[in-house]
Amino acid sequence: MKKFNATMGLLAVSLALTATAASAQVSRAEVQAQLKAAQASGQLAALTGEDSGSAYLAAHFHSTESRGEVKDEVKEARAEGTLNALDGSDSGSFYLAKHQVLTTPRAEVKSELAQAEKNGTLDQLYGEDSGSFELAALHAAGSRPAVAMK
């Protein structure tokens, strides 16, 4: 459970750094220097290796909870049915849809959909980068999604 949180935290930091880099004016030489430094330190390939980064995360993550606390959390998640909620064949979409809290009125959502269709931004999250550039730009602008989880 904590390893998953650490992974998600690492991804959030990566997204924040991407957003910062996208909004800042960085010279090509600076980017090349950062690339070389990341390659030399091993950070560049840390999460894309054969083990998907688990060795890197294990070496850099140190739990603050005792083994007993972790086992209790796992037992609680198993009892609630949330332990494998995001691992199913639907990738957790049923669980997420069941537990979302909508904060935007339906009419506003329909209006935003019509506007996105009109100005061509509807498919911005389905490009080659799976929308990561667009999400980074939204994050840098301080925009937040209209859906929250319970």
pLDDT tens digits for 37-71? 888 887 777 777 777 777 777 787 888 999 999 99
pLDDT at 18: 59
Q: Give yes or no for a contact between 86 and 95, defined as CB atoms under 8 angstroms apart.
A: yes
This prediction has a pTM of: 0.34
- Compute the mean pLDDT over every residue in the chain, rounded to the nearest whole number: 76
57: containing domain: 1-83
The domain total for the chain is 2
Domain end: 83, 98, 133, which one? 83
Do 96 and 51 have their domain in common?
Answer: no
Q: Give yes or no for a contact between 31 and 22, defined as CB atoms under 8 angstroms apart.
A: no
Do 110 and 144 have their domain in common?
Answer: yes
Torsion of Cα atoms, 83 then 13 then 45 then 52, to 10°: 10
Contacts of 99 (CB under 8 A, 6+ apart): 149, 150
Confidence check: pLDDT of 149 > 50: no
